[in-house]
Amino acid sequence: MAQVWEGLSPEAEERALAAFSELLDDQREARAIALARALLGRVVGAQQLRVALAEAQVARADDAGAVDTLAPLLEAAEPAIEVLALAARALDRLGQESRATQLWQGVLARDVDYPGARSRAAPEVVAPSAGATLASGGELSGGRYLVRRELGRGGAGAVFEALDRDLGRPVALKIYHQRGAAARGRLRLEARTPARLEHPGVIRIFDLDEELGAIAMEWVRGRSLKAAARDEVAPASVRAWILSLVDALAFVHDAGFVHRDLKPSNVLLRRDGRAVLTDFGLALPLGESPARAGEGTRGFAAPEQLRAAPAHGSADVYALGALLLELLPAIPTSAPAVREIARACQALEPAQRPGLPQLVELLEAAFHGS
């Protein structure tokens, strides 16, 4: 039987975390996860490493693995709130609603404003703010929208298909989970940045309701790039998605903005095959520094972005590299060339990454004949 140690010293855990993060930055997720699991199989505790591993497993849709990783921490007398929330999200996606709800209730008991906890701890009620609640019939009591069904949810908010009763048109209505000043700031960014950008590859914003904590935007009836990548798709479709996405990014950069949260779930696909950039909640004007470090999605955010460097288009190029790697199985003929392009996009030095015009040329050549 393998020896089980009591735990890791703070110094040893810090070294293990650094090695784990380095492997993730190098896009060696499978290796990072395998080594971390092997180490954690022989130690008790190691909360930071367990959480980092579980986050990586959730990112790879291994929700059952994430729950197993967090199990020793959940058995503690008072599990950390981040442990409860991460396990609850994984259980939600596994369809284990009862267990997930119990954990969300534990999160809510610690922090009533924790993102997503209120609606998930009591799924029958969505209460964005006083005077703007979602009743059982779907009427939005404080506004003009009739909510029909939920389209999806993430860390910042939930998105609903709704009817704008004043104009008689369907919209996607995103309602933020939190109500604080930081959430209001992100809400304004997510609404106002794309509202300044008129391009078929940028989501159109129709309305901003700060009291409700909601944005009404066009309802793109296609699916997300994340969902599409799970299915068998024609390489020609992937080519069209990627090239139209680069075109949209170039437009955003030329207009003086950096998206800073590019990932497959934030790219929607129109029925004509064009990719659409959504969720500008972390967007910044070119050259502006963020209020805090660590903004972005692990595995997609550039290292300098996580260190709170001023916003630069090269950070979106880094994220585009990570996105390209996720699409490789759908483009077998072009995969070797696209993999090399992705690696170039993820150079550690921002200045060494290709610019978007160069990327178009490289991608066109990679897809030639596919």
Instruction: Considering the candidates 207, 261, 279, 316, report the single residue annotated as catalytic.
Output: 261
Output the CA torsion sign for 60, 160, 280, 360.
positive
In whole angstroms, give the CA distance from residue 325 to residue 329: 9
Q: What's the one-letter identity of residue 20? A: F
Q: Which two tokens stand for residue 271?
A: 């029925």
Is the separation of the CB atoms in 365 and 340 below 8 Å? Answer: no
Q: How many residues does the chain have?
A: 370
Q: Which two tokens stand for residue 328?
A: 């490789």
Residue 214 φ/ψ, nearest 5 degrees = -140, 155
* Residue 261 is among the residues annotated as catalytic for this protein: yes
- The position carrying tokens 């990932």 is 263
Other CB atoms within 10 A of residue 230 CB? 12
Other CB atoms within 10 A of residue 159 CB? 21
CA angle 214, 215, 216 (to 5 degrees): 125
Q: Which two tokens stand for residue 68?
A: 């197993």
Active site residues: 261
